Chain A
Amino acid sequence: MKRLSLLFLVLLLGLSASLLLRGAVPADREALATGASARHWVGTDELGRDRAQRMASAFALGLAGSTAAAFLSTCMTLAAAMAIGFATPPVRAVLLYCSDLCLVLPWLFLLMLVRAVLPLSLPGLISALVTYALLAVLGWPLYVRTVSARVATLACAEWLLQARASGLRLGRVLKAHVLPHLLPISMTQFLLCVPLFLIAEADLGSLGLGVSEPLVSWGSMLSDISSNAQRVSTGWVYLPLVLLAITVFSFESLGAEE
């Protein structure tokens, strides 16, 4: 399954890259909500925009954004877990309380609030950066208890006590000895966060809170399905949903095997 998932992701990445390198296909206002044709491989949306190219853009942006957000989120989790693992009990309690607080925040309203205070004419790229940065910030507490428990176990290990007793500074201990032990669990977190953020962006985008036009995201692709006229006109409108589901499944498989 792992190889199949990898193969699928690589294939999709290659296809997206080739479509994006073809250059922008201008919207064709005479070909609205069409099915597959020689000119438009998987049809057009209701504004006459090429669906294949839009999906390629959404895939590329989703992959880049979610991967970066997952990496950032994993780093934040690692930093927080190490701080919790080696802190004094009162500080540890405060840090764990903070992570729990982040988990119970009504993040949808937070995102709406952030969207409302941001300048209206925010360029698409900045809106994408803000969206994925917010997801990363909101995603770090998800695994912090798991990773910090692992750090706490390591902190009590005799070899680590020996290292510290030998005079090794804490920074050096963390970097050279603790971090390598945490990489497998962090890799799993990273691989599970990517699909989580893909879905989160798609949800936000379909609510109009995610990446703004002219950038194309999974969210804006999925919002097309909300149009009854689109659903009736062609079955190709469901293709982004299918591709997103397979992409998410592929990452979930990779994460599970890890």
Chain B
Amino acid sequence: MTARAFRLLSTPLLLVVQVFRATAPAQPPADLAWALHAEPGTLDPAKVDDQSAETVRFLTAGVLLRVNRVTQQPEPALAEHWDVSADGRTVTLRLRGGLRFSDGSPLTAQDVVSSLRRVLDPAIAAPVADEFLQPRAVVVDTPGPRLIRLQLPKRVVSLAKALDQIAIEPASHPAAASVTAGPFAVAKYHRGEYLLLQRNAFHWKHDSAGRQLPYLKQLRLDITSNRDVERLRFTRGQYQLMESVSPDDFEQVAHETGGAHDLGASLNTEQLWFNQVADAPLPSYEKAWFESTAFRQAVSLAIHRNDLARIAYKSHATPAYGFISPANRTWFSEKGQAPHEDLTRAEAQLHAVGFHRVGRQLVDGAGHPVRFSIVTNSGNHSRKLMGTLIAQDLQALGMQVTLVELDFPALVDRLMHTHDYEAALLGLSNVDVDPSAMANVWTSSSPNHQWNPSQKSPATPWEAELDQLTAAQATAVGYADRKRAVDRMQAIVAEQQPFIYLVFPNQLCAVATGVEGTAFSLLSPTTLSAIETMRRRGVQP
């Protein structure tokens, strides 16, 4: 090749390289980096409605009270003290002295009042406003220079949880997490690429030695939905955290990095349910099967939940016989658990309501063979395996079950709109230990009452009782009364099996071995609850 030819070729090549350098996402270095699995819907802390935005809010928001994710108890944050009146309708909070926002401007009671009023404003449509039951009727004022008073129309059971989600922002310019009173503030946001969070140099919190918290200077949250990319970057040391690890990847991550953690049963559930919607486009004999308590109980008795946990979740799940996880020690009830596997009893129950075998096939009293499909979402490997195992288990009863994987929009359309399905296998994420968070599932008029949603009046006496108990536990003042109501709810669900609970997937996460000061929690975010005291090994704060 002549020198002239080389120059001719090298010029466009260099241009191409320059273009690639310019367009490639140059990710800035950070003390800690990890993946967000979706673009945050908003950075406005008042409008947070998705997991990614929730994570950003947790890291940036200065809140009056913080629910400790590990102990699940409220702790003072911007408010150093709070007081609730005997009737639970007047809450008075006292701010710490000398508070500042991340831009150095002072944080006053007026900023707090403005932030609370903004969240309660119907025009903002803040999701957290619903926690106040009647947000328009809440009165917020400042009886003193550092005092804030909330006057509530009704007692709010989960007040600390609500205040944990309200970021205090400057009254003059709510700043979408760029000026905050929390440990970090958003420094850069490249849509679709990453978020860079910078340490708040004016954060109120100090460690026992009087050093300013947080220790970490910069956090980078890369936006990537690809779990394989996330795992590879973690194992290569480019990421230091994985908020969740799939059971499929857990052993490999543990083996390659030594940083994988199984925290035991999570609060989330995986469940199977039969379509009991009265006007569902199903044959009447199928509706009769699904409305039969004995049929649902028999199906529940035939499923080997230990195998589901062992095989589908590689032993990283806990068999479930009720809707409250054993990890939720405050509300879990031993008495409210469904009976464990018993094939003989399952067959006897089916026989008692007219089902019998013709050859290997189970048929109902009118001779219809028991065949049905279970729909689930495509792309969830563990769920697919569970569906196949359930089909095998139910074959032992003579039922022919087909597992159908549908893409999510098609699945939601069938579940929520057309009701054209026989049985469904899905999971439910619980972000709160308090059972009142599941009120929308148990109330018969709710669109999330999946097996028979949006009922005008309860279709069965036990659903009517569930409605009453749901309301009772949400309004009862004492823990004992609430616990009694929740125990009874667990007993009804165990007996009626509207949801056949299968497993509680274990909470799996990973933290690089070079990160110190981590605390793990079942409540989201799993690995970030001690973000203020986390640091890299060998790096002096």
Measured CB to CB, the residues of A under 8 A from B are 27, 29, 32, 46-48, 112, 116, 120-124, 207-208, 212-214, 226-230, 232
**Pick from B247, B391, B421: contact of A120, CB under 8 Å:** B421
- Determine if A232 and B405 form an interchain contact, defined as CB atoms under 8 angstroms apart: no
CB distance from B100 to the nearest CB of A (A): 47
CB distance from B410 to the nearest CB of A (A): 5
- Determine if B389 and A121 form an interchain contact, defined as CB atoms under 8 angstroms apart: no
Contact partners of A47 in chain B: CB under 8 A? 311, 385, 388-389, 392
Q: List 16 A-B contacts (CB under 8 A).
A: A27-B392, A47-B311, A48-B311, A112-B407, A116-B410, A120-B375, A121-B372, A122-B402, A207-B378, A208-B378, A213-B388, A213-B402, A213-B403, A229-B314, A230-B248, A232-B252
CA–CA, A251 to B328, complex, Å?
Answer: 59
- Determine if B248 and A228 form an interchain contact, defined as CB atoms under 8 angstroms apart: yes
CA–CA, A27 to B373, complex, Å?
Answer: 21
CA–CA, A122 to B388, complex, Å?
Answer: 15
CB distance from B519 to the nearest CB of A (A): 28
B404 CB–A CB distance under 8 Å = yes
CB distance from B235 to the nearest CB of A (A): 12
- Determine if A232 and B391 form an interchain contact, defined as CB atoms under 8 angstroms apart: no
CA–CA, A121 to B246, complex, Å?
Answer: 29
Question: Could you count the A-B residue pairs with CB atoms below 8 Å apart for me: how many are there?
Answer: 60
- Determine if A32 and B249 form an interchain contact, defined as CB atoms under 8 angstroms apart: no
Given A47-B389, A121-B372, A228-B248: A208 in contact with B402 (beta carbons within 8 A)? no
Contact partners of A227 in chain B: CB under 8 A? 248, 381
**Pick from A29, A120, A123, A229: contact of B248, CB under 8 Å:** A229
Interface contacts beyond A228-B248, A228-B249: sample of 12 additional A-B pairs, CB < 8 Å, sorted by A: A27-B392, A32-B311, A120-B420, A120-B422, A121-B373, A121-B422, A208-B378, A208-B405, A212-B404, A214-B391, A228-B252, A229-B249
B89 CB–A CB distance under 8 Å = no
Contact partners of A213 in chain B: CB under 8 A? 388, 391, 402-403
Contact partners of B410 in chain A: CB under 8 A? 116
B279 CB–A CB distance under 8 Å = no
**Pick from B252, B381, B385, B402: contact of A226, CB under 8 Å:** B381
For A26, give the chain B residue with the smallest CB separation: B392
For A212, give the chain B residue with the smallest CB separation: B402
CA–CA, A48 to B304, complex, Å?
Answer: 15
- Determine if A121 and B371 form an interchain contact, defined as CB atoms under 8 angstroms apart: yes
For B307, give the chain A residue with the smallest CB separation: A29
B83 CB–A CB distance under 8 Å = no
Contact partners of A46 in chain B: CB under 8 A? 311, 385
B406 CB–A CB distance under 8 Å = yes
CA–CA, A113 to B314, complex, Å?
Answer: 34
B334 CB–A CB distance under 8 Å = no
For B375, give the chain A residue with the smallest CB separation: A120
CB distance from A108 to the nearest CB of B (A): 12
B481 CB–A CB distance under 8 Å = no
- Determine if A229 and B247 form an interchain contact, defined as CB atoms under 8 angstroms apart: yes
Contact partners of B246 in chain A: CB under 8 A? 228
- Determine if B251 and A229 form an interchain contact, defined as CB atoms under 8 angstroms apart: yes
- Determine if A29 and B314 form an interchain contact, defined as CB atoms under 8 angstroms apart: no
Which 4 pairs between the two chains have the least Cβ-Cβ distance? A121-B373, A120-B373, A229-B248, A208-B405
For A29, give the chain B residue with the smallest CB separation: B307
CA–CA, A239 to B385, complex, Å?
Answer: 21
CA–CA, A123 to B400, complex, Å?
Answer: 10
Contact partners of B248 in chain A: CB under 8 A? 227-230
- Docked complex: B361-391 residues within 8 A CB-CB of A: 371-373, 375, 378, 381, 385, 388-389, 391
- Docked complex: B285-340 residues within 8 A CB-CB of A: 307, 311, 314
CA–CA, A214 to B400, complex, Å?
Answer: 10
Contact partners of A232 in chain B: CB under 8 A? 251-252
- Docked complex: B251-288 residues within 8 A CB-CB of A: 251-252
CA–CA, A32 to B406, complex, Å?
Answer: 26
CB distance from A118 to the nearest CB of B (A): 9
CB distance from B350 to the nearest CB of A (A): 19
CB distance from A127 to the nearest CB of B (A): 9
- Determine if B402 and A120 form an interchain contact, defined as CB atoms under 8 angstroms apart: yes
CA–CA, A32 to B309, complex, Å?
Answer: 13
Contact partners of B421 in chain A: CB under 8 A? 120
CA–CA, A121 to B374, complex, Å?
Answer: 8
CB distance from A26 to the nearest CB of B (A): 9
CA–CA, A226 to B391, complex, Å?
Answer: 22
For B253, give the chain A residue with the smallest CB separation: A228
CB distance from B494 to the nearest CB of A (A): 26
For B403, give the chain A residue with the smallest CB separation: A213
Contact partners of A124 in chain B: CB under 8 A? 402
CA–CA, A226 to B246, complex, Å?
Answer: 13
Contact partners of B372 in chain A: CB under 8 A? 121
